[in-house]
């Protein structure tokens, strides 16, 4: 796999790689801030394949993940609707995408840096699962993709990630209430490593990525594997059943 094989293959992801092997991965929707959805051309469908492509490209030494404009992912796009004629018909695809989304991210064999350029309210776990998380002063973190925002079940990995990061009690509170955690508070509690002014965020992330990329590639790869070992184990144990619960609850009549 080479960069040319996937660089232009995604509607909502821009790729640019520096000569030292830093792959910059920018999420967007039609060139603007990234939005979420359930269609075949939205990030939910594209990211599992993109993470797989990135992991199979031996020229990538560090991956830098960021968003576009003033938000990371802060809302849904009504244009990204599922093509299937029912939720029951949609869920097998969504299930497979949900499994690939986080497992393929965690299978990337080199360090990942997130530059959270603004509110991360929908699937913020994509950012906080990276090895180094930097945030803009304007960033905030929440889970509005599930019970607090849409009424759906937080079973697609967020039920694993947030209680690990926040602790069991605050993690459950966060998922149930839609609590928003501002950038400085996220840094204070250890979710974020550094907070920067918006115009300083990406330069700092690039500097860190460049510094890491100079390390021997075997050291980068083996360190990454050690650092995410527990996350991968937990996701293997719990992601499939979490998505199954989410599907079941979605297809039960509300009342």
Catalytic residue list: 125
Evaluate whether 113 touches 134 at the Cβ level (below 8 Å): yes
145 vs 13: CA distance, rounded Å? 20
């Amino acid at each position: 796999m080479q960069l040319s094989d996937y660089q232009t293959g995604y509607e909502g992801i821009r790729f640019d790689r520096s000569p030292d092997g830093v792959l910059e991965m920018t999420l967007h929707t039609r060139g603007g801030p990234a939005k979420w959805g359930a269609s075949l051309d939205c990030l939910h469908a594209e990211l599992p394949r993109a993470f797989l492509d990135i992991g199979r490209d031996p020229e990538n030494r560090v991956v830098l993940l960021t968003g576009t404009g003033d938000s990371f992912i802060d809302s849904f796009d009504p244009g990204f609707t599922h093509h299937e004629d029912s939720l029951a018909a949609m869920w097998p695809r969504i299930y497979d995408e949900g499994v690939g989304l986080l497992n393929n991210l965690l299978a990337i064999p080199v360090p990942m840096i997130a530059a959270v350029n603004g509110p991360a309210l929908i699937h913020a776990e994509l950012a906080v699962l990276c090895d180094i998380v930097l945030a803009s002063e304007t960033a905030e973190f929440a889970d509005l993709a599930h019970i607090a925002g849409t009424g759906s079940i937080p079973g697609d990995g967020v039920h694993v990630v947030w209680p690990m990061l926040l602790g069991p009690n605050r993690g459950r509170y966060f998922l149930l209430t839609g609590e928003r955690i501002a950038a400085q508070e996220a840094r204070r509690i250890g979710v974020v490593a550094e907070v920067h002014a918006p115009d300083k965020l990406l330069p700092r992330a690039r500097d860190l990525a460049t510094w890491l990329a100079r390390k021997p590639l075997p050291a980068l790869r083996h360190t990454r594997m050690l650092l995410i070992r527990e996350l991968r184990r937990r996701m293997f144990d719990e992601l499939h059943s979490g998505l199954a619960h989410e599907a079941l609850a979605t297809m039960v009549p509300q009342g």
